A = this chain, B = another copy of it.
């Protein structure tokens, strides 16, 4: 018998049936997970261009046809309406519901976007012996709104959000090498060593997630974060949109190793 720990498909079937309702971290090890944004077709071209202009925070790994709940490049069996444990539905920038299924709110003009997530590169970093402090402490990675602007497209604009992982300088150098191999899941860090230069005043006060300690012999290393598109959508206040509930991601059939460019 397969369990939700086994494959991307097994994880999605467990979620679809209601057997798994919580965060997806730790499910289907080795399989790519993604951030979700669903927008009306009228906004889809601008949002796609926003991703194209900002590939580090918004690495698009899949997109549906309008009205379709299939994203075949990420999983033949995938149903975007049922395969994520919990969703957030927004109307004019207001959160109106957190359902576990989208079939009741589905519309024929909706386009789904799946954006790469740091789980993939964290797996590669840990395989190389680099500790992920937030995972060791069982916390959510700390995230910060920066003073770095994204490139605007239509109504979509706003600051880049970054995630932070503390490590020794030699691990930071190794982490640049490892994550450079994964451009589809945020790629190399965007900054390191000097949070003040990107508008972060207090490393112990993240805007999202949990603070984690940075030891005296460590530097903070920052990656562009998949929360950026959610933050940008919140600013654009589209009349209707859907995102995943934080921590409950789309589990795909693609392997993390497939996303390594070398």
Contact = CB atoms under 8 A, between A and B. Distances in A.
Interface of A: 168-170, 172-173, 176-177, 180, 188-194, 197, 217, 219, 262
Stoichiometry, copies per complex: 2
Contacts of A192: 169, 172-173, 192-193, 219
Contacts of A189: 173
Across chains A and B, which 5 residue pairs bring their CB atoms closest together, nearest first?
A193-B193, A176-B176, A193-B219, A169-B191, A169-B192
The main secondary structure of chain A at its interface with chain B is mixed
Contacts of A217: 194, 197
A194 B172 CA distance: 12
Nearest to A220: B193
Nearest to A219: B193
A188 B197 contact: no
A169 B192 CA distance: 6
A172 B177 CA distance: 12
B193 A169 contact: yes
Contacts of A170: 190-191
A162 to B, nearest CB: 12
The residue in A177, A180, A193 that gathers the most chain B C-beta atoms within 10 A of its C-beta is: A193
Contacts of A190: 170, 173
A21 B175 CA distance: 43
A26 B217 CA distance: 39
Contacts of A180: 177, 180
Given A169-B193, A176-B177, A193-B194, 19 more contacts: A168-B197, A169-B191, A170-B190, A170-B191, A172-B192, A173-B176, A173-B188, A173-B189, A173-B190, A173-B191, A176-B176, A177-B180, A177-B188, A192-B192, A192-B193, A193-B193, A193-B219, A194-B217, A197-B217
23 contacts: A168-B197, A169-B191, A169-B192, A169-B193, A169-B194, A173-B176, A173-B188, A173-B189, A173-B190, A173-B191, A173-B192, A176-B176, A176-B177, A176-B188, A177-B180, A177-B188, A192-B192, A192-B193, A192-B219, A193-B193, A193-B194, A193-B219, A262-B262
